[in-house]
C-alpha cells in the first residue's frame, strides 16, 4: 500500500504556481517493532546498532492530508530561510546573494553590503538567522565560505544591521565575529548552521572540510574543524564554555568529533541542541549535542568510505565517544531541520522534520523523549533536493529546494 501511494504521488507534477496533493496515508500507525520505511540494504550489513531503534525505526504515519504550494521561484540554489517579524523571508542563495521574499513570492533585488564569498564546491552564502532582539537591534547573522587567497578559505560568521529605505535593502556595520581555524585549501564540508541558545549565545555547527588533513582534526581540541562552537553575539567567548582555560584547547569549542553538520535546532522542551550531519556511504547521523562531548568522527561511525573501504578501524562504538540518537544507512543526505510547534498541523506537533537532499523528500520522525520511535517520509512528489526546512508565522512548513532554479514551497492542510 505504501509503495502504491508513493508511486501515485510521484506522478503528480507541481504547477508553476499552485498546489498539489500530498501523501495522505490512511494506514494505521505502525506499532513499535513494525516494518520500517527503509528497506534498501545497508552499505555495511555487518554493522549493528548500539541500541534498539537507533536506525530503521518503524513506519509511523500521522494520517495528515496536506498540499504543497509554490511560494516563490527564480532563486539560485537557496540555502537558508529566516522569517522577519512582518512575515517576509530572508533567503540566502549559494552564489552569495541575500534576498527578501514576500509571502506572495515577490523577490527583492539582492541585499547590498555582504562580503565576498567563495562559492566553489559546497561553499557560498550559507545560513542566516535573526538576532534574538532583532526588533531593537535589526541585526542579522550569516555564515559563508570566506576566500583567503592562494586557494584557501574558511567558514566565517558575520553580523550587520538590515536597513531598508527608498534606496533599497542593505547591510550596514558588517563585523566578522568568527572564523574557523585553521583555514584549508578545500571546497567541501563547510557545514553549517547557526542557532541561538536560550541564553542568547550563538552555536555554530561546523564541518571538517572533508580532506584528510581536516578530517583528522575533528577530535583535536586545538582545531575548530569538525566542531560545534559557542560564542557570544559579539564574538567573545562565554566564560562557561567547557574548554575555557584548558591548555591546548580552543575556548570556543562546545563539542567535537562531528563530520559535516547540515542542520541544527533547539529542542523546544529541553533547550538542548540537536543536529544532523552527513555520513560517507552510510552513517548520516542525528545527535544531541552536550557540552564537552566527543561525537566520534572519524574514530567511530556507521557506513564506509566512498571508495568502499572501511573507515579507520571500522569501529561503530568506543568508550568515551557518543552514539548518535539515530542514523541512516543508506544515507538520505539530511539538510534543514525543525521541531514542529505550529498549530496548523496538530497531528504533527512535537515531530522532528528533516529535509533530504539525496532522497528528495521530507522526513518526519516521531519522538519519545530523546528516542526516535517512528519514521515517515513526506513530500516525495516534490522530487527536488530539500535544503532547508522552516516554520512560518502561519504555522505552515516551508521548504527551500537546492536547484539552479530553486523554489520556496510550503506544506498546508488539505481537506480530506
**Cβ atoms 362, 310 nearer than 8 A:** no
How many whole angstroms separate alpha carbon 72 and alpha carbon 192?
24
Cβ(171)–Cβ(177) below 8 Å? no
Mean pLDDT score, 11-24: 35
Q: What is the pLDDT of residues 210-243, one digit of tens each?
A: 999 999 999 999 999 999 999 999 999 999 999 9
Q: Residue 32: what pLDDT? A: 52
For residue range 258-271, list pLDDT tens digits in order: 999 999 999 999 99
Q: Whole domain around residue 81: which residue ranges?
A: 2-413
Q: What is the CATH number of the domain that holds 207?
A: 2.120.10.30
Q: State residue 415's pLDDT score.
A: 75
Mean pLDDT value across residues 139-145: 98
Give the per-residue pLDDT at 26.
29
Active site residues: 189
Percent of the chain with pLDDT over 90: 91
In the chain, the number of structural domains is 1
State the average pLDDT for the chain: 92
How large is the average pLDDT for residues 289-318?
98
**DSSP H helical ranges for 186-271:** 212-215
Q: What is the structure's pLDDT at 9?
A: 36
Listed residue (383, 316, 301, 395) closest to 20, CA to CA = 383
Mean pLDDT to the nearest integer, 199-205? 98
Region 68-89 average pLDDT: 98
Model confidence at 154, in pLDDT bands (50, 70, 90)?
A: very high
Confidence (pLDDT) at 359: 94
User: In angstroms, what CA-CA distances link 23 with 8, 201, 349, 373, 374?
Assistant: 9, 39, 18, 20, 17
- Residue 33's pLDDT is 56
Residue-level pLDDT at 4? 33
Rounded to whole angstroms, the Cα distance separating 26 from 180 reads 48
Q: What pLDDT digit, counting tens, does each position of 282-302 carry?
A: 999 999 999 999 999 999 999
Is residue 314 pLDDT above 70, yes or no? yes
How many other C-beta atoms can be found within 10 angstroms of the C-beta atom of residue 28? 10
One-letter-per-residue 3-state SS of 349-378: CCCEEEEECCCCEEEEEEEECCEEEEEEEE
Helices (H) and strands (E) in the chain — how many of each? 3, 24
Residue in 38, 48, 35, 58 with CA at minimum distance from that of residue 332: 38
Give the number of residues written for the chain: 416
Q: 333-386 pLDDT, tens per residue?
A: 999 999 999 999 999 999 999 999 999 999 999 999 999 999 999 999 999 999
125 membership: H or E segment, kind and range: strand 125-130
Residue 146 confidence (pLDDT)? 98
Buried-state track 45-71, b at ≥16 Cβ within 10 A, e below 16 = eebebeeebbbbbbbbbbebebbbbbb
Amino acid at each position: 500500500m505504501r509503495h502504491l501511494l508513493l508511486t501515485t504521488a510521484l506522478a503528480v507534477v507541481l504547477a508553476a504556481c499552485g498546489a498539489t496533493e500530498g501523501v495522505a496515508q490512511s494506514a494505521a500507525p505502525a506499532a513499535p517493532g513494525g516494518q520500517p520505511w527503509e528497506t534498501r540494504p545497508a552499505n555495511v550489513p555487518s554493522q549493528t546498532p548500539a541500541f534498539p531503534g537507533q536506525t530503521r525505526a518503524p513506519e509511523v504515519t500521522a494520517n495528515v492530508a496536506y498540499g504543497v504550494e509554490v511560494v516563490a521561484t527564480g532563486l539560485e540554489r537557496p540555502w537558508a530561510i529566516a522569517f522577519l517579524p512582518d512575515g517576509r523571508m530572508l533567503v540566502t542563495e549559494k552564489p552569495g546573494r541575500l534576498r527578501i521574499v514576500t509571502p506572495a513570492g515577490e523577490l527583492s533585488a539582492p541585499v547590498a553590503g555582504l562580503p565576498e564569498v567563495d562559492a566553489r564546491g559546497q561553499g557560498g552564502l550559507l545560513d542566516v538567522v535573526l538576532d534574538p532582539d532583532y526588533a531593537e537591534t535589526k541585526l542579522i547573522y550569516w555564515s559563508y565560505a570566506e576566500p583567503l587567497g592562494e586557494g584557501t578559505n574558511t567558514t566565517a560568521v558575520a553580523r550587520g544591521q538590515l536597513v531598508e529605505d527608498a534606496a533599497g535593502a542593505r547591510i550596514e556595520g558588517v563585523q566578522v565575529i568568527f572564523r574557523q581555524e585553521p583555514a584549508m585549501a578545500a571546497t567541501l564540508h563547510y557545514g553549517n548552521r547557526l542557532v541561538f541558545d536560550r541564553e542568547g549565545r550563538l552555536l555554530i555547527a561546523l564541518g571538517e572540510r572533508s580532506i584528510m588533513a581536516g578530517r583528522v582534526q575533528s577530535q583535536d581540541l586545538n582545531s575548530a574543524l569538525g566542531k560545534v562552537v559557542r560564542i557570544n553575539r559579539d564574538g567573545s567567548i562565554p566564560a562557561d564554555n567547557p574548554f575555557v582555560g584548558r591548555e591546548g584547547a580552543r575556548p570556543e569549542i562546545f563539542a567535537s568529533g562531528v563530520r559535516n553538520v547540515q542542520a541544527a535546532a533547539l529542542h523546544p522542551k529541553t533547550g538542548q541542541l540537536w543536529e544532523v550531519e552527513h555520513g560517507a556511504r552510510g552513517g548520516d547521523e542525528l545527535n544531541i549535542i552536550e557540552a564537552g562531548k566527543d561525537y566520534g568522527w572519524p574514530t567511530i561511525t556507521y557506513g564506509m568510505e566512498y571508495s568502499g573501504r572501511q573507515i579507520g578501524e571500522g569501529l561503530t562504538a568506543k568508550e568515551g565517544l557518543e552514539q548518535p540518537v539515530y542514523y541512516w544507512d543508506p544515507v538520505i543526505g539530511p539538510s534543514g531541520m525543525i521541531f514542529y510547534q505550529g498549530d496548523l498541523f496538530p497531528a504533527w506537533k512535537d515531530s522532528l522534520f528533516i529535509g533530504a537532499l539525496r532522497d528528495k523528500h521530507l522526513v518526519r520522525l516521531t519522538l519519545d523523549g530523546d528516542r526516535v520511535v517512528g519514521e515517515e517520509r513526506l513530500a516525495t512528489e516534490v522530487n527536488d533536493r530539500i535544503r532547508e526546512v522552516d516554520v512560518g508565522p502561519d504555522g505552515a512548513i516551508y521548504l527551500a529546494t537546492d536547484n539552479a532554479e530553486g523554489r520556496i514551497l510550503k506544506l498546508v492542510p488539505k481537506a480530506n
